[in-house]
Amino acid sequence: MSWTPSHRFPESGGVKERTVVFVIYEGFQPLDLVGPHEVFHHAGRLAGGYRCQVVAPRSGPVQAASGLPVHAGYGVDEVDPRSVDTVVVAGGQGVDQARLDARLTGWIREAGASARRVTSVCSGAFLLAAAGLLDGRRVTTHWAREQQLIREHPAVEVDCEPIFIRDGPVWTSAGVTAGMDLALALVEDDLGREVARAVAREMVMFLRRPGGQSQFSVALWSKEPATDPVRAAVSAVHADPGARHGIADLAQNARLSPRHLQRRFTAELGMPPAAYVERVRVEAAQHALADSRDTIDAIALRCGFGSAETLRRTFHRHLGIAPSEYRARFRSTTAAHAEPQQEQERS
């Protein structure tokens, strides 16, 4: 069944069609290609302006890491790198071998020198780094590849907290589904927020997550406690994020002195107790904003922030957006059916 857009935006008169090239190779991650490709395809059907091409070292069938065969319409020798507006490099298990291909990295280097922007999804950042396009820039990649990228490319500033990062003409994203958030951001940059919102609706996606949002959930950003006392303190925080969790309160749960817990907690989890409590509270507030109709003031109190203003400042520091904007983007279908009670929040 073919997809038909429910609404078309007037195409911008005289705007040159943008060529978006998706770079793949043996062992790429298929969603790194298909997700962003569909975003641009849908944007093109809604508003025009995009021509998508799939490029590999050689044209023809390319096998993804999962075994899925994908046809690359062009080899790198068949595409003039100077004709490309946007380069999107997919990640995947095969990237370590692909970056040894001088023809491939050379084409990416030439395209990066003339394209309006060059981007990567997940471990595709390693191909951009091999092409010399990331030195001196702040970038992200999949969290599991962070240390490898830091170790192998010391001239690159690696930050695996955000889901995507823009540094000048270079855009990089975290793993897999984050590539779709990156693509929506690129569409918004080209065609405006309303087109990006329409694409998200048509694709049954959440509206674009902001780039500053963490790619980690609690299960990923936190190490597992190594001892029972620290485990007891952590359990108390997760059981009731809004309760009192000062160092004295946590020490009582752990049956240790405050000084001893502070030292052991930081050693085992890689962050002090206060920072850990704040991150758990932020995540609790995220869930409450998305899944409930409670006011922001009520959520701030319940999650331990005390006031909506404190919650707002903390959200901006961690996520880069206000709680009200987070709610507008992420609230569940159930919560969205009825407007929240009147909210008072200073922007």
Does the predicted TM-score (pTM) go above 0.75?
A: no
CATH of domain 18-202: 3.40.50.880
**Where do the structural domains in the chain lie, given as residue ranges?**
18-202, 218-336
- Position 16 scores a pLDDT of 65
Token digits for 72? 């690359």
The answer to whether the beta carbons of residues 64 and 27 sit under 8 Å apart is: yes
pLDDT at 329 over 90: no
Question: Which amino acid is located at 40 in the chain?
Answer: F
Q: What are phi and psi of 253, to 5 degrees?
A: -65, -35
196 SS3 class = helix
Mean predicted confidence (pLDDT) in 309-314: 95
Q: How would residue 215 be classed by pLDDT, with cut points 50, 70 and 90?
A: low
- Position 342 scores a pLDDT of 40
pLDDT at 41 over 90: yes
CATH of domain 218-336: 1.10.10.60
The answer to whether the beta carbons of residues 8 and 40 sit under 8 Å apart is: no
Nearest partner of 218 among 137, 279, 293, judged by Cα: 279
- Position 207 scores a pLDDT of 54
Strand partners, 21: 53, 87
261-288: pLDDT as tens digits: 999 999 999 899 999 999 999 989 988 8
71-91: pLDDT as tens digits: 999 999 999 999 999 999 999
